[in-house]
Amino acid sequence: MIEDFPLLSKDVISIFSGNANLPLARKIVEHLGLQLSNAEVKHFSDGEIWVEIEESVRGKDVYLIQPTCPDANQNIMELLIMLDAASRASADRITAVIPYYGYARQDRKVAPRAPISAKLVADLITTAGADRVLTVDLHAGQIQGFFNVPVDNLYATPVLMECLEQHPEFQSDYEIVVVSPDAGGVRRARYSAALLKKEPEMAVIDKKRKGPNVLDDQMTLIGQVKNKVAVIVDDIVDTAGTLIKAAAKLKEEGAIKVFASTTHAVLSGNALENIQNPVLDKLFITDTIPLKPKAKLMQKICQVTISKILAQAIYNIHRGISVSSLFKDVKEAN
């Protein structure tokens, strides 16, 4: 349970979870001193999803925990149907807790007749009944504007940096350099550097993409990493192809060790094989997306939980307390 806070009453708040990440949902309610509310979410043989909320939510503050991670389409449908069920059951306020927001990388038109899928998903969530959205490290901040309801975008960086600092390399005399894998991630890298006690320098990798998950062979490093421990900071690791190429570039430029810190571990395709490449020494991730069984056994992956931050945000929303106070230092770092 969250320390120094009074108990929440299950008579006025209900927290449900879909099937996308039940372990995370259970950790969140444990912090709050509650239990997951009862709901049945199952699939028919033809793939259709069926939901039944098994307790009264009339007049309650309802939270539905469901990251839209792989299988993204299935998990989005589960979320939408749960939102509709809670809305039709006369819940007073419904908050969609989406630790990982799928389709976030499709946030703009990249071709004349391309969709903006991140906006489409936002419209679906709002139409299904969400009065508020709580998420973690959106791939693009402007996605908050795709919703016509309040959106709280939390940051996993403090949890990741705290875990990373406990690694033996950070107890040594080596200099640290925080690396953004592209120009768009500079603010995230600056925030990460501000949280580290060693006051590290920063570097940026300039790269060019040919298409989704396809990277140009040419990379340019802006900054110095020679004889330093490099930390690549990003929001998503998918196939890990970009990550490994960046790590190889840093080792080529003289980095002693290369770590990576990413919030969302999608780990699709041949990601696990890529991560085994010796150019990457350690990968730090959160549990916004559940790890596959094989990934859990990998010594190179260190997973930390984001449950306490999400629990605190749920508590603050329910009590009418500022959520922005949870990431006040982000503004100061920027």
Residues noted as catalytic: 207
Residues 114 and 110: their CA atoms lie apart, in Å, by 6
The distance in angstroms from the start CA to the end CA of the chain is 32
Nearest to 170 by CA among 277, 282, 248: 282
Output 70-73 pairs: Cβ under 8 A, ≥24 positions apart: 70/266, 70/268, 70/289, 72/102, 72/103
Contact 182, 207 (CB under 8 A): yes
In degrees to the nearest 10, what's the CA dihedral of 99, 102, 106, 107? Answer: -30
Total Cβ atoms within 10 A of residue 149: 14
3-state helix, strand, coil in the chain (%, to 5): 35, 25, 40
Residues 74 and 61: their CA atoms lie apart, in Å, by 25
Q: Is the peptide bond before 61 cis (omega within 30 degrees of 0)?
A: no
